[in-house]
Structure formats: C-alpha cells, structure tokens
Amino acid sequence: MLNLDVTGAEILGPQGIHRDGLSFADGVIVDGPAGRSVDLSGYLVLPGIVDVHGDGFERHLAPRRGAMKQMSEGLVAVEAELAANGITTATLAQFVSWEGGVRSLEFAEQVFSHLRDVAPSMVTDLRGQLRFETYQLDLFEDLPDRMAEWGLRYIVFNDHLPHERLQKGVQPRRLVSQALKARRSPEKHLAMMHAMEARSEEVPAALDHLCKQLAAQGISMGSHDDTTAEGRAIWAARGVTVAEFPETLEAAEAAASQGGIVVMGSPNVVRGGSHNLNVSAVDLIAMGYCDALASDYHYPSARRAALMLWQNGMRDLAGAWGLVSAGPAAVLGLTDRGVLEAGKRADMVILERDSLRVAATLVQGRVSYMCGDIAARFLA
C-alpha cells in the first residue's frame, strides 16, 4: 500500500478540476502530506470507476467448452481487464435463470462461491449481483438463504419468458439453440416454459413476499428492462428502488418521480442509442433521468461514455464522471468511495491527459494496473 503525495496533475475533486495535489496514506485520502512526492504532470486523476452492473466477465469464466477448469483463474483474468479499464469496484452480474447453461443455478453456484472465496485476495473490489428470473417459483423459498450463503447484497429481477408467444401457442424464438445450451431437448424446454407460464397468477404475490424477506436482510433490489409506469410502480411498492436499463421514457420518468434510481448502460451512450432500439441513455441523461451508468457487457464503455458526455458538452467533467463513480457508489450504498476527498478510499484512475487512455488504476492506494511511462514516475 502506497503513501504518496501526487503533484502536478489535474485532479477531479468534488468541486471540479484542481491542481492542488492529492495525498493518501494507508488506503485513504488525507488532508496533509503523506509520504514521497510523485510528479504526475501531464496526467488527469479521477475517482475510480464503480461498476454497478457488468457481465463482460462471462468470456473469462465460461470460454469454449472445457477450457476453464479452475474458475478462480478466470477471476484473475477478469480483475486484470477491470483494472486496465479504470474500474476499482466491480459488480459481476450473474443470472439464475430457467434458460440454463451459463445462466443456470448450477453455474451461478460456481461463480458466486468462487467470487466469495477469491475476491478478498484481489486488489479490485469484486462483488456479485444476482440476476433472478421471476417465474422460477420453485426457487423462491431458498433464495434468501442462498443470497446469504453467497455473500450477495444486490439482486435484480428479470423476466425473459416469451409470454406472448407462449399464450398464442407460437414457438418461441431461439428455442432449439437455447434448449441445447441448457442440455435439454427442445420439447422439454418448451414444456418447462409452458409450465411456468401456467403459474403466472401466483408470481405477483410470491414476489411481494420474497421482496419483504430480502428487504429485511438489507438486500438492495432492482428491476430490469421496465417498460411502463404501472410496472415500475408495482416494483417501487415492493421496495425495489433501482430501475436498471428501463426500455422507455415512461418507465424512466416513473422511476424518477417515485424517488427511484435509474441505471443505464454505457454502451448505449457510446453507440448513440440502444442496440435494441429502446430509449436512448443520452436522452435520459439530457432530461436528468439517469443516475448512474454501468459497463453492461463492455468494460471499456464506462470510461468512454463519461468522457464522451464531457467532450460533447452535455455535462462538465464532474457531472459526467459522477455517472460512473459517485452515482454507482450511491446505488450500492457505498459512502466511502466515488469522490476524491479526504476520508474517502484512495480509489482512483489516472489517465494520460492528451490521449485519455488509462495509465494506472489504484484501489485503496494499491496499484491494480499500471502501463507505460507513468511507471517511471512512481519508481523514481
């Protein structure tokens, strides 16, 4: 753990950019001199990125069949990618879904168990988010205990059951490929979906009860892909405060009006719109309906999205970067990070001022990533 006084750099503080230097000791930002001075002229020092939802880790934990024998090794690769992209706190979003395969309960058990056991040895703060399919009624009773066993503090509710096609008796899209990934015959997979659809009337009351149990455990809860104000109001009544990736302006407006937290995907910003033609994250940001940006499926997009919002003049740097630092920290209830001020964790990303590429990432004053000429500054 480094005790350093950073000088010469442009530093993003709570009030904006300053050149007054930054000191940190024992993993925490301090007011006075802390140790050896490091001249970072030509660099930009920003709060570390807090990623509130990302599933880019999947390629490391579930590559081509049979290639990954030790999931802990995959998590090491995940951390390296996160650190290289300036992410200091990462939430790995893992499904438990009837879809099976890498979204199965069995695979999730491996992911969360390894994450629980390996994360304490990592420099990056790795956390888990359970993405739970709501029509799995048979799993409701044991879910609070599973959350506790896995050490999870955050759940997001999803519903990917193709209700309209099932109700019309039309074969769901991608049935065969989905069934094969789940190691089921298409016939068994379809029968399972119909069986879940037949119990639709039981789901709302079951969710009411489950959310009460999870709230009593202090679990943060979110809904995914909201489309209507009515649907968001139902979730809000259950204490589900986070609206993750709402698909419509109506749903985002409803979440904001109910005091909820709206999380959008960074790739949506970088692309200039949703790849599914849903509401644009840029539009929601412009209207003040977005509180945080997540990496979603692409870790580099968090940094890129914030910088794009700054460079195109939509937000000043503090406002743009806050969407990937202080905003996500608030979603997770983490009051010790997200801004560079005395008393907060020394979590920071250092960018080359000209190229805005990541030169170094520090977590609680410990180096998780460093590349290029900046290394000579620290080693001098």
Please tell me which residue, 43 or 33, carries the higher pLDDT value.
43
> What is the per-residue pLDDT across 75-119, written as a single tens digit (0 to 9) for each?
999 999 999 999 999 999 999 999 998 899 999 999 999 999 999
Q: Are residues 16 and 146 in the same domain?
A: no
- Beta 22-25 vs 366-370: how paired, if at all? unpaired
Distance (Å, whole) CA 111 – CA 221: 20
**What confidence score (pLDDT) does residue 274 get?**
67
Q: For position 278, which CATH number holds?
A: 3.20.20.140
In-domain check, residue 19: yes
| Structure token pair of residue 75 | 């998590």
* Residue showing tokens 């009624």: 137
One domain, residues 196 and 318:
yes
pLDDT at 277 over 70: no
Q: Tell me, yes or no, whether 105 lies in a domain.
A: yes
- The DSSP letter of residue 172 is P
Q: Determine contact, residues 274/282, Cβ cutoff 8 Å.
A: no
Q: Which residues pair with 362 in a beta bridge?
A: 348, 367
- Residue 35, SS3? coil
On whether both 149 and 6 belong to a single domain, the answer is no
* Confidence bin at 273 (pLDDT 50/70/90): low
DSSP-based three-state secondary structure for 289: coil
Q: Which two tokens stand for residue 156?
A: 């997001």
How many other C-beta atoms are found inside a 10 Å radius of the C-beta of residue 336?
Answer: 12
pTM of the model: 0.94
User: Terminal CA-to-CA distance of the chain, rounded, Å?
Assistant: 17
Residue 170 in any domain: the answer is: no
Q: Are residues 80 and 16 in the same domain?
A: no
Q: Is residue 116 part of a domain?
A: yes
Same domain, 140 and 240: yes
What is the C-alpha to C-alpha distance for residues 124 and 75, in angstroms, rounded to an integer? Answer: 11
Query: pLDDT digits over 279-303, tens only?
Result: 899 999 999 999 999 999 999 999 9
In a domain, 169, yes or no: no
What is the enclosing helix (H) or strand (E) of 317? helix 317-322
In three-state secondary structure terms, 47 is strand
pLDDT of 329 reads: 97
Q: How many domains does the structure of the chain reveal?
A: 2
DSSP notation for 77-107: HHHHHHHHTTEEEEEEEEEE-TT-GGGSHHH
- Asked if residue 243 is part of any domain, the answer here is yes
Domain match, 131 and 244 both = yes
Confidence (pLDDT) at 114: 93
Give Dmax over CA atoms of the chain in angstroms. 70
Collect all residues with Cβ–Cβ distance below 8 Å to 65 and sequence separation of at least 6.
Answer: none
**Owning domain of residue 107:** 49-160+187-336
Q: Do both 12 and 144 map to the same domain? A: no
143 with 210: CB under 8 angstroms? yes
Residue 43 has pLDDT above 60, yes or no: yes
What local confidence, expressed as pLDDT, does residue 101 receive? 87
Closest CA to 374 of 354, 356, 351, 355: 351
- Give the tens place of pLDDT for each residue, 109-150: 999 999 999 999 999 999 999 999 999 999 999 999 999 999
Residues 124 and 220 grouped into a single domain: yes
Residue 214 has a pLDDT of 98
Q: Hey, what are 7's tokens?
A: 């000088």
Per-residue pLDDT, 111: 94
CATH number at residue 357: 2.30.40.10
My answer on whether 53 and 142 are in the same domain is yes
Query: Cβ(9)–Cβ(43) under 8 Å?
Result: yes
| Tens-place pLDDT, residues 147-205 | 999 999 999 999 999 999 999 999 999 899 889 888 899 999 999 999 999 999 999 99
Residue at 120 is within a domain:
yes
pLDDT in tens, 46-76: 999 999 999 999 888 875 555 455 788 889 9
Same domain, 359 and 274: no
Q: What is the pLDDT of residues 333-354, one digit of tens each?
A: 999 999 999 999 999 999 999 9
Position 224 pLDDT exceeds 70: yes
Q: In the structure encoding, which two tokens stand for residue 376, read together?
A: 């000579």
**Residue 173: inside a domain, yes or no?**
no
Res 246 pLDDT > 80? yes
Q: Are residues 112 and 241 in the same domain?
A: yes
Q: Are 264 and 355 part of one and the same domain?
A: no
